[in-house]
Chain A
Amino acid sequence: SQQGEEDPQALSIQEGENATMNCSYKTSINNLQWYRQNSGRGLVHLILIRSNEREKHSGRLRVTLDTSKKSSSLLITASRAADTASYFCATDEGGTSYGKLTFGQGTILTVHP
Chain B
Amino acid sequence: KAGVTQTPRYLIKTRGQQVTLSCSPISGHRSVSWYQQTPGQGLQFLFEYFSETQRNKGNFPGRFSGRQFSNSRSEMNVSTLELGDSALYLCASSWTGGVYEQYFGPGTRLTVT
Count of chain B residues with a beta carbon within 8 Å of a chain A beta carbon: 33
- When distances are taken between beta carbons in the complex, the residues of chain B under 8 Å from A97 are 56
- When distances are taken between beta carbons in the complex, the residues of chain B under 8 Å from A94 are 98-99
Majority DSSP secondary structure for residues of A touching B: loop
In the complex the two chains form, what is the Cα distance from A55 to B55 in whole Å? 31
In the complex the two chains form, what is the Cα distance from A94 to B105 in whole Å? 23
Contact A103 B90, CB 8 Å, known A45-B104, A92-B98, A98-B55? no
Contact A30 B101, CB 8 Å, known A41-B107, A42-B107, A100-B58? no
- When distances are taken between beta carbons in the complex, the residues of chain A under 8 Å from B59 are 1
Majority DSSP secondary structure for residues of B touching A: strand
Q: Interface segment, B12-20, B41-49, B76-84?
A: B41-49
Interface string of A70-113 (1 = CB under 8 A from B): 00000000000000000010101010111111111110000000
